[in-house]
C-alpha cells in the first residue's frame, strides 16, 4: 500500500468536489503498492478554503527515485472546444491544458530552485472520472495522459506504467521535504505514543508558518497558545530549520513521553530531552552519577546541576522550551543559559494547562505572541471548554473536521465506573476507531488511579507504563491493545478517540478546569467523559 501524506484522511467527511477527491485518494491509496508516496491537500483546507496542493494540482505521486506525477482531477462534465478540453467555472470558461501547463511549470521552477538547479523528472495526468472524452486527439493533451470515465478503473495501473516504482535515490528525501513545505505540513508530535505511523497536521496560516517570519534581534519569542494551536508543530519546524542550516538546536520539555516522541521524529543533529534529563546529562558530563534511589533524588539532581558551569558542548544555536507552564520559576534561567548570545530562543506555553500550579515565567523584554485558535480539537470539545474556562481565556474552534458530540457517562461508584469505561471504549469502536486509535486517560495521577493498575477491563487489554526504562532509555509498557495513561503523562500528546475517566470533583475550581482542559483537548476526533454523579451535577449545570 502506498504511503499517504498527510495521514488521517480516512476519517474525513466532505461534500461536492472535496468528497470526489477523497474518493480518488482512497482508490490511489489502495491501488498503488509500497514504493509510492501520495501527496494531497484535502486533509486540511487553507485560509483560502482551497484544497489543491499547488495551483490546479490535486495529487502528486512520487516513486522511490524521486520522479513525480502531477494529477489534476476535474469532476463533473467538461467542455470539448476547438482549443481542447475546458471547464465552466460559474460562467467563466477555462482551458484545462493551459491550467495544467501553467501550474506544472510553476511547480517545476520552484522545485528546481529548491534543488539548486538539479533536473526534475515530472509527468502529468488528467483525471476526469465523470466525463467521457469524445475527441481525444483534439483534447489538447496526449490521449495517454487522460483517464476519463471509461478508463477510471485503470487509473492506478496507468500511473505505474508511466511512473514505475524505480530504485531509491537520495533526491527523493529532498523532494519529500519540499512537497511537505508546499502543502504547509509539519509533523504533529501530538501523536499516540508508540504508534509507528506519524500523524501530521496542517496548521494553515498558523504558528509553524508565520511565527518564524518575525524579525526579532535577538530572537526571543514567547508564544502563549491554547491547546491545538500548533505550538509543538512550531517547535519541530524551528528545530528542523536549525538542523538544515547547520546549527545545533536544543528542545526541552517537562513531560517524558512528549520528549521521547519528539526525539523519535526530529532529525539528528540536535538535543532533545526533558528538564531532568538535561540535568542528568550535565552531571554525567562532569563525571558524576546521579543516585535516583535516594529520597528527593530529583530535587538533589537539579540542585547539583545548578552548581555546574555550562560547558561549550552544552551551548546551542537554538533553544526551544515546550510546555513552559510546567517549568518551576528557578528552572527558567537554568535552561536559557544554554543559549548562545545570538541564539534563537522560543518559550512555548499554555496557562490553561498549568496543572502543576507554577507561577508564569518572567521573561522581560521578550516578544509575546498569542494564539487562541485550536486547530486540533473537535468543535464540540472546544464548545464544552468555552463554557468552563475563566473569563479572558479565549479559545477559538478552528478544526475543519466533522466530529461527534461529547458523550457523558455518569457513574455512582467504582464498580459502575469500570463498566462505563468499558462502554466508552465500545462507543469509540462503534464509531469506527481502531484499538490503536483509542486512549484511556485517567483524571487522576498514576499513584491514585483505580484504573491504571488494571491489565484488562472486560475484553479490552490495557497498555500501561510500567515505570521502568529499557537499556536504550525508552519507556517500557505492558502488553495491551488500549493505551492507558494519566492526564499528567499524556500532556502534549493526542489520540483520535479519548475516553477521559475517573473525573471526580466537588467544585469546578481552577485545578479541576485545567485537568478537564488537558484531558479533553487530547482528543482529535471523539471524546467520551466518564464522570462521577457529583462532578456531573457541577459540570452539566455550566453547559
Dump pLDDT digits (tens) for 6-58.
765 665 555 566 678 888 998 999 999 999 999 886 543 333 333 333 445 78
Q: In what order do the strands lie in the sheet with 220-225?
A: 271-274, 249-253, 316-321, 339-349, 220-225, 367-371
Q: What is the dihedral of CA 108, 184, 24, 83, to 10 degrees?
A: -40
Q: Where in the chain is the domain with CATH 3.40.50.300?
A: 186-376, 402-542
DSSP 81: E
Helix (H, G, I), strand (E, B) or coil at 130: coil
- C-beta of residue 120 within 8 angstroms of C-beta of residue 109: no
Grid coordinates representing 443 are 483524571
Nearest to 489 by CA among 370, 355, 398: 355
- C-beta of residue 87 within 8 angstroms of C-beta of residue 94: yes
Give me the pLDDT at residue 494, please: 87
CB atoms < 10 A from the CB of 473, how many? 10
Please return the burial class of 423, using the count of CB atoms within 10 Å of its CB with bins 0-12, 13-18 and 19+: middle
Dump pLDDT digits (tens) for 470-516.
766 567 889 999 999 999 999 888 888 999 999 999 999 999 999 99
Instruction: Report whether the peptide linkage leading into residue 218 is cis, meaning its omega lies within 30 degrees of zero.
Output: yes
Give me the pLDDT at residue 204, please: 39
- C-beta of residue 137 within 8 angstroms of C-beta of residue 145: no
**Residue in this structure with the C-alpha cell 472546544, named with its chain if needed:** 382
Give me the pLDDT at residue 273, please: 96
For domain 402-542, give the fold.
Rossmann fold (3.40.50)
Grid coordinates representing 236 are 519541530
Nearest to 194 by CA among 526, 490, 441, 418: 490
| Stretches in the chain below the pLDDT threshold 70 | 7-18, 41-56, 90, 181-209, 400-403, 471-474
Alpha carbon distance 329, 302 (integer Å)? 13
- CATH 3.40.50.300 is held by the domain 186-376: yes
Give me the pLDDT at residue 182, please: 60
User: Most distant CA pair in the chain: distance in Å?
Assistant: 85
Alpha carbon distance 257, 269 (integer Å)? 20
Grid coordinates representing 163 are 511512473
- Chain centroid to Cα 262, Å, comes to 11
Give me the pLDDT at residue 48, please: 35
Q: C-alpha distances in angstroms, 118 versus 20, 110, 174, 182, 458?
A: 35, 11, 11, 18, 58
Dump pLDDT digits (tens) for 397-417.
877 655 678 999 999 999 999
Alpha carbon distance 299, 296 (integer Å)? 5
Q: C-alpha distances in angstroms, 351 versus 324, 492, 514, 517?
A: 9, 13, 9, 11
Beta bridge mates, 223: 348, 369
Alpha carbon distance 506, 217 (integer Å)? 49
Helix (H, G, I), strand (E, B) or coil at 162: helix
Give me the pLDDT at residue 1, please: 83
In terms of residues, how long is the chain? 543
Amino acid at each position: 500500500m502506498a504511503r499517504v501524506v498527510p495521514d488521517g484522511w480516512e476519517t474525513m467527511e466532505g461534500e461536492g468536489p472535496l468528497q470526489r477527491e477523497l474518493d480518488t485518494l482512497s482508490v490511489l491509496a489502495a491501488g498503488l503498492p509500497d514504493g509510492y508516496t501520495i501527496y494531497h491537500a484535502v486533509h486540511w483546507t487553507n485560509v483560502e478554503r482551497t484544497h489543491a496542493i499547488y495551483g490546479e494540482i490535486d495529487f502528486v505521486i512520487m516513486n522511490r527515485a524521486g520522479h513525480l506525477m502531477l494529477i489534476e482531477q476535474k469532476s463533473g462534465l467538461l467542455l470539448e472546444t476547438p482549443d481542447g478540453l475546458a471547464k465552466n467555472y460559474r460562467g467563466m470558461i477555462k482551458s484545462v491544458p493551459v491550467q495544467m501547463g501553467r501550474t506544472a511549470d510553476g511547480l517545476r521552477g520552484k522545485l528546481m530552485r529548491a534543488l539548486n538547479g538539479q533536473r526534475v523528472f515530472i509527468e502529468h495526468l488528467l483525471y476526469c472520472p465523470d466525463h467521457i472524452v469524445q475527441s481525444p486527439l483534439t483534447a489538447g493533451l496526449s490521449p495517454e495522459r487522460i483517464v476519463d470515465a471509461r478508463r477510471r478503473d485503470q487509473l492506478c495501473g496507468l500511473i505505474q506504467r508511466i511512473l514505475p516504482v524505480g530504485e531509491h535515490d537520495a533526491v527523493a528525501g529532498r523532494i519529500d521535504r519540499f512537497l511537505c513545505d508546499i502543502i504547509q505540513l509539519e509533523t504533529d508530535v501530538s501523536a499516540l505514543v508508540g504508534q509507528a505511523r506519524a500523524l501530521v497536521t496542517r496548521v494553515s496560516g498558523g504558528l509553524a508558518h508565520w511565527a518564524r517570519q518575525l524579525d526579532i534581534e535577538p530572537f526571543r519569542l514567547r508564544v502563549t497558545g491554547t491547546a491545538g494551536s500548533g505550538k509543538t508543530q512550531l517547535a519541530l519546524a524551528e528545530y528542523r530549520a536549525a538542523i538544515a542550516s547547520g546549527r545545533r538546536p536544543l528542545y526541552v520539555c517537562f513531560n517524558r513521553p512528549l520528549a521521547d516522541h519528539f526525539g523519535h521524529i526530529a532529525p539528528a543533529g540536535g538535543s532533545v530531552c526533558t528538564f531532568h534529563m538535561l540535568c542528568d546529562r550535565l552531571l554525567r558530563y562532569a563525571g558524576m552519577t546521579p543516585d535516583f534511589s535516594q529520597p528527593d533524588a530529583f530535587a538533589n539532581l537539579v540542585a547539583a546541576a545548578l552548581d555546574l558551569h555550562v560547558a561549550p558542548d552544552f551551548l546551542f544555536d537554538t533553544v526551544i522550551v515546550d510546555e513552559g507552564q510546567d517549568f518551576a520559576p528557578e528552572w527558567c534561567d537554568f535552561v536559557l543559559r544554554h543559549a548562545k548570545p545570538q541564539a534563537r530562543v522560543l518559550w512555548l506555553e499554555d496557562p490553561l494547562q498549568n496543572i502543576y500550579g507554577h507561577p508564569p515565567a518572567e521573561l522581560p523584554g521578550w516578544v509575546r505572541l498569542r494564539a487562541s485558535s485550536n486547530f486540533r480539537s473537535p468543535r464540540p470539545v472546544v464548545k464544552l471548554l468555552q463554557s468552563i474556562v475563566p473569563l479572558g481565556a479565549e479559545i477559538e474552534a478552528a478544526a475543519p473536521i466533522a466530529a461527534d458530540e461529547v458523550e457523558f457517562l455518569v457513574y455512582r461508584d467504582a464498580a459502575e465506573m469500570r463498566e462505563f469505561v468499558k462502554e466508552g471504549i465500545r462507543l469509540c469502536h462503534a464509531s469506527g476507531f481502531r484499538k490503536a486509535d483509542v486512549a484511556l486517560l485517567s483524571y487522576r495521577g498514576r499513584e491514585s488511579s483505580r484504573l491504571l493498575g488494571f491489565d484488562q477491563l472486560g475484553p479490552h487489554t490495557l497498555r500501561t507504563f510500567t515505570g521502568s526504562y529499557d537499556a536504550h532509555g525508552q519507556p517500557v509498557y505492558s502488553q495491551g491493545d488500549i493505551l492507558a495513561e494519566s492526564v499528567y503523562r499524556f500532556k502534549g500528546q493526542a489520540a483520535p478517540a479519548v475516553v477521559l475517566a475517573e473525573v471526580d470533583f466537588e467544585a469546578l475550581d481552577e485545578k479541576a478546569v485545567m485537568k478537564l482542559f488537558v484531558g479533553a483537548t487530547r482528543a482529535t476526533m471523539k471524546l467520551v467523559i466518564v464522570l462521577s454523579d457529583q462532578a456531573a451535577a457541577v459540570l452539566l449545570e455550566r453547559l
